Structure 1
Amino acid sequence: MKSGKPHNSLNGLLVEISKIRRNKSNELLSGTGIHAGQDILLYYLDLEDGQTVSALVEKMGIQQGTIAAMIERMVNAGMITKKKDASDKRISRVFITKKGKAAHQQVTDTWRKMESITAKGLSPIEQAQLITLLEKVRDNLS
């Protein structure tokens, strides 16, 4: 690894691909006001609005403090709101706003671009094979 690039092991390639993908995604989102990780939060809220903070922590696989800072930043930006649960005041729920829905559309557009970039040069059969293999890798790690 003297060249600074991971060797072509499975782990090395996954690390390199993850880093490149994150950087490219951040580059594409840079003009939108959406910061790293916020795209994932918007994605989960679009799937199910009003989730608890603890459910989002689990789904996103990040620390409570990290998501608390992210939520505060996104509340201040008007993309989401955070409210106490009506039946249990110890629980906070997070809701996407109209501005957040518009931001999520930008995320969706960016993710489509990322998928197109990622699949460039792959035949439909190769894309299906790659998806199947990555699902196996995901399942192995879950």
Structure 2
Amino acid sequence: MSDQQYNDSLGYNIHMVSHFIQNLYNEELSQYDLTHSQAKVIYLLAKYGDQTQSDLQKKLHIKASSMNGIVDSLLKHERIQKVSCSKDKRSKWITLTEKGLELHGNILRIIEEIESKASQGLSEEEQIIMVSWLKKMQANLKPSGRD
């Protein structure tokens, strides 16, 4: 494969867009001492409520060791807390603290800004089509047995 073919390949261009978006998120979120991964946990907890660490890990499609690091950092900064499950004492629920909840509005604003920047020059129809294509690709590449 020539350099030109590589630069024009689907995978390369998706990777570059993902890389640039990740960098923008981390740059914007750094003012709140957050990483993109930590912000995703806060977002999921604010949107869907308390969850187990295992449930969050599955939604983020990351390894347990990565999830442990994210949870430890959020606990250290008092953005989340672990609460014992009344039905199963071995299970812990992850819940947002007031500090974590306060960050949610800032995270939503940053998401809107980055989405707007990334979609400049694309019509609403083009954006809908692109999301549809990306979802198909996700389904093609998702490891079996995962949602």
TM-score (norm 1): 0.89
Counterpart of 2:88, as a letter, is: D
Query: When you count helix as a share of all residues, which structure comes out higher?
Result: 2
Counterpart of 1:138, as a letter, is: Q
How many angstroms apart in 2 are the aligned matches of 1:104 and 1:2?
Answer: 44
Aligned equivalent of 1:96: 96
Runs in 1 of length 4+ with deviation above 4 angstroms? none
Quote how far apart the aligned CAs of 1:17 are.
Answer: 1.1
Q: Does 1:8 align with 2:16?
A: no
Quote how far apart the aligned CAs of 1:135 are.
Answer: 2.2
Q: What are the Cα deviations for residues 36-91 of structure 1, in whole angstroms up to 9, with x where unaligned?
A: 30011112111222211111111111121221221121112111111121121111
How many angstroms apart in 2 are the aligned matches of 1:2 and 1:77?
Answer: 48
Point out where structure 2 has 5 or more consecutive residues left out of the alignment: 143-147
Q: How do 1:79-90 residues align onto structure 2 when only pairs under 5 Å count?
A: 79-90=79-90
Residue-pair matches, total: 140
Counterpart of 2:23, as a letter, is: N
Determine if contact 1:34/1:103 at 8 Å carries over to the other structure: no
Which region of structure 1 is more displaced relative to structure 2, 76-85 or 127-136? 127-136
Quote how far apart the aligned CAs of 1:114 are.
Answer: 0.7
CA 1:2–1:30 in structure 2 vs 1: closer, same or farther (change >3 Å)? farther
Q: State the SS of the aligned residue for 2:90.
A: coil
Counterpart of 2:129, as a letter, is: Q
CA RMSD, Structure 1 to Structure 2 (Å): 1.8
Counterpart of 2:52, as a letter, is: T
Aligned equivalent of 1:140: 140
Point out where structure 1 has 5 or more consecutive residues left out of the alignment: none
Q: Does 1:17 align with 2:38?
A: no
TM-score (norm 2): 0.86
Q: How do 1:1-142 residues align onto structure 2 when only pairs under 5 Å count?
A: 7-142=7-142
Counterpart of 1:45, as a letter, is: L
